[in-house]
A and B are shown apart, each in its own frame.
Chain A
Amino acid sequence: MASMMQEFTKGLWKELPPFRLVLGLCPVLAVTNSANNGLGMGLAVIFVLTLSNVIISLVRHIIPKKVRIACFIAIAASLVVSVEMLMQAFSYPLYQQLGIFVPLIVVNCLILGRAEAFAAKNPPLLALADGLGMGIGFTLSLTFLGGLRELFGVGTLFGASMFGPDFKPFAFMVQAPGAFVCLGLILAGMNFLTMWQAKRKGQTVDPILDAGCKGCSACRKLDEIANQKKLEKLQPAKG
């Protein structure tokens, strides 16, 4: 149970998908021009991610290693189609707003990344916790970014006016360049926060080496390098 809790909470802050793992950036940049869109997109991703994680985890021993990616995509695609149909049925305006980005969840790195890095190696319950945590983290990030951009770019939050009629909206924020600039500033802010926290604890943090993405081989390599460096630092002290 403790490990389930751990797998669930890591998606909320330590491995927050768009801002820590920097995964699934296509919807992060494209649909976050309002808080509502971000929330809707996030909910769709929660649904797909959780179910795909559980299903993949259930069938992980059946899938041959060589064709696993194709299988993951087939599972994700069927889930995405059902989400798309549900959206068309129950929230058509949101469906129209999100447009092409709902079908594009299939190729979202986040879905494939969690399937490959976690669900294919762990039992269903842990995969469920991971998918739910990652999905909720993704939703919160998207809503936060969407809210931020909507607040300054239109002057509203979830459609409610915030600054009164005299506010001249900073339209840069809701347009494409604003998405990139906002995301970059948030990433910088996250790194700054991490380093500040570590400094208070008296540690040093390397934003690249300590990024919470142990799943992929590139970061494992970095980990090895980091460990080696730590060892090298320790050895002269011993001698």
Chain B
Amino acid sequence: MSEPMIVIDGLTKRFGPFTAVDAISFTVARGEVLGFLGPNGAGKSTTMKMVTGFLSPSEGRASVCGHDVVSDTLAAQRTIGYLPEGAPAYGDMTPRAFLQFIARVRALKGAAADHAIAEAVAATELQGVLDQPIDTLSKGFRRRVGLAQAILHNPPVLIMDEPTDGLDPNQKFEVRKLIKRMSADKAIIISTHILEEVDAICSRALIIDRGRVVADGTPAELISRSRYHNAVTLTVEGQLTVQSAEMLKALPGVVSMDVTARGQETVLTLFTARATASAAVAGDITLVDAVARVAREQGWIVRALYGEPGRLDEVFRALTRSDIDATFNAKNVA
């Protein structure tokens, strides 16, 4: 992996007695898309605000492309494209005027500015609304204006706070495609609480809760922490007797089983030990095969049978609890 472009070391932010971000450390390398996950108020936005120079850290350091964000703020900011939470813009401007303003600030002139604006507009499909005041645009368009602004100067580092919030499914798909396309030569941080997004575009995910990193790994690694990782779910018609259910539970590798009745069907989930690296449990016969064999032998009418990769939302819930007892929302402070 190439050298890290974003280096966060012990970054801490306190608002009075409240610690919003508590000694977070991580790095992001070129080509990586880091997904920032966490409940509301966990410190995602506050961390991004510190990295982009909008808030000063209480402690710790952050550097972007080798520039310290506190001592060399402007140089760091030149390398960053930032989409703040809620995609704020100057509402009385049109997207065209707004992007021209950003281009001027970003030292893009003449043909280079026109080219950059055209590229950003094409990438975010803003052609139709270029001359309407931003205030009059829909939430989805405003978000895309914010995106266009962030990618305008083709920055090596992109930081986006909930880039797909407020977009419809088609737009979400397009934005994810855009992020994926740009990810090859950039270091990207996105925050989201849409878990499917992590799987779709992130090469690495960081779960933070109450200002601390509680998990850091590839989406696959995080999913493997799920209780459902490598579990097998079987849906059969009718009720199962206790004896037949016990037959499934006795299969090699199975540590526990959930049984739920759903209308005329019974849903059984067989959990395996989480340490199991792959779905193979007994020699080369996978658990799915084993369950299928039992079902066949017993003559059950099988409606569904599948192995589970794991459930990210379950991992997320298990790791983060701050949304339940948080009495203080960091967002109101900034």
Partners in one complex: no
- Please list the residues of chain A having a beta carbon within 8 angstroms of any beta carbon in chain B: none
